[in-house]
Amino acid sequence: MKLSLPLLTLLIAFTSCSSGSADKKVPELANEMCGCFDSFQQSLSSDAKDLMKAVSVAANPQTEMMNGISKLKPQDAALFSEKLKSIGTKGSEVFNCMEAFDKKHANETTKDKKALTEKLLTEMQSMGNCPTGAAIVNLSLSGGGIR
């Protein structure tokens, strides 16, 4: 299974420079990003929610995702895969929210995109109520998407 998530490019679209305004707003940015995944998270089955929690903290999130999907019942795996695809679909609730996030924070800067993304992931993981957002960020750090 291969899913293309153009959303991942929206997650951290900050330009690099020395001022690093985004670096000073990690909790605020993480909270706002998590809000984009609230309704998506609520729409998941219990098993899918558990899978997203596991992926959000996995050292190898792509492997965790694929292994987790393979353990779901076939109809649940298909439904979950379709829901994941919807995240990156233009016009979807998550996509629209992340697009608004990107526009709102277009002038934010960071010294190091990867370090900022790692800080956002840590913050999202510590929030406890954002496993889907954290899973998507963790996947983006591990290779840029869900494969």
- Note whether residue 117 is domain-resident: yes
Is 146's pLDDT higher than 80? no
139 domain residue, yes or no: yes
Q: How much is the pLDDT for 18?
A: 46
State mean pLDDT over 103-122: 90
Cα Rg of the chain, angstroms: 15
pLDDT value at position 120? 94
Average pLDDT on 91-99 reads: 93
Given pLDDT bands bounded at 50, 70 and 90, which one contains residue 145? low
**Domain span including residue 67:** 7-143
What domain count does the chain have?
A: 1
The residue type found at 56 is S
**pLDDT single digits (tens) 46-69:** 999 999 999 999 999 999 999 999
Chain segment 10-39, per-residue pLDDT in tens: 444 544 444 578 888 999 999 999 999 999
Q: Give which of 87, 66, 86 is closest to 77, Cα–Cα.
A: 66
How many CB atoms lie under 10 A from the CB of residue 11? 20
Residue 15: its pLDDT value, please?
Answer: 46
Q: Does residue 1 sit within a domain?
A: no
pLDDT at 23: 82
**Model pTM greater than 0.85?**
no
